[in-house]
Amino acid sequence: MTYSVEFCEKQYNNRLLVPEHAQIFQRWSALGKAFRDEREADAGTFLHRAYGQGDRERLDYFHCGVEGAPLLVFIHGGYWRSLDKHDFSWVAKPFLEAHIDVAVVNYGLCPEVQIDDIVRQMYKACTWLYRNADSLGFDRELLCVAGHSAGAHLAAMLLCAQWPSWGPDLPPDLVKAGILLSGLYDLEPLLYAPFVNGDLRLDADAVKRLSPVQMKPQTLSAVVTAVGALESAEFIRQNGLIEAHWQDNFRRDVPMPGTNHFTVVDALADATNPLTRAAIELCLRPYVDPHG
């Protein structure tokens, strides 16, 4: 496909497509603070825990109170250049109630770093969590990832990671399952999107190296996808790429009527929402073999 600057601006600039995005971000931030304030005194809550040496190599950990629970690692979006883990603390609530621990992770932001660096930071975060499972209280054999937008891209990259190359103690299936919301899996259009690529500094080689559709998950980890029904045609296309390219891993797509690129995440605050129910089920019973 031939992309134009005008096309990519209309299809990929979600802040233009959702004029009320600033109010949504403010609401997320307020909800995140309220949730952290509520949980901060809990013995199983560890805020701003370092998983590496970088200033933003930090995560917030919320323990459900049940030893040996599964763990969901949530990765925020923001086109790899904005937002913060604190904006999404509230995501943890329904999962904790379902006896699933939650880690919400930060990473360096473009243009101070590049996407390659962020991917490595996510490898580092999951490695740190896996190795510290006993002290944190979760089952290292039940580590799942979820991400929104750029975070879904990063979660997809984690599913494709060759974990034993990062350490002889790491299993090939370190990540057991993934929940991918409104993600970017083919990065080529962003080459023609100056509103964001000025910060990302992608080139053709980086696009090939960093597009999950150019690779496959290393194991039969199960994947659930979702995209807002009100999102642009390109984000809906991007969502469909996972089913098309990862057929052995794809479990289901969850319809999200009435939601845009940002409000699709709000579903995760509601334990009764079909997306949250699907995510909880995946964490509690991740596939190894979808044909078994």
Check residue 291 and give its pLDDT.
42
- Cα–Cα distances (Å) from 267 to 77, 125, 128, in that order, read 15, 25, 28
Each domain of the chain, given as residue ranges in start order, spans: 5-284
- Contact in structure between 264 and 182 (CB atoms under 8 Å): yes
Whole-angstrom CA distances from 105 to 12, 45, 133, 181 are 24, 14, 16, 16
Tell me which architecture the domain covering 5-284 has in CATH. 3-Layer(aba) Sandwich (3.40)
Rounded to two decimals, the pTM is 0.97
Distance CA 4, CA 212 (A): 22
115-131 and 150-159 helices cross at what angle (nearest 10)? 60
Contact of 224 with 252, CB cutoff 8 Å:
yes
Sheet (strand 138-148) strand order: 45-50, 58-62, 101-105, 69-75, 138-148, 177-181, 222-228, 250-256
The Cα–Cα gap between 74 and 50 comes to 16
Backbone angles phi, psi at 72, to 5 degrees: -110, 125
* CA gap 51, 166 in Å, rounded: 15
Query: For each of the chain's 292 residues, which pLDDT tens digit applies?
Result: 789 999 999 999 999 999 999 999 999 999 999 999 999 999 999 999 999 999 999 999 999 999 999 999 999 999 999 999 999 999 999 999 999 999 999 999 999 999 999 999 999 999 999 999 999 999 999 999 999 999 999 999 999 999 999 999 999 999 999 999 999 999 999 999 999 999 999 999 999 999 999 999 988 899 999 999 999 999 999 999 999 999 999 999 999 999 999 999 999 999 999 999 999 999 998 854 444 4
pLDDT the model gives residue 20 = 98
Tell how strand 138-148 and strand 177-181 pair up: parallel
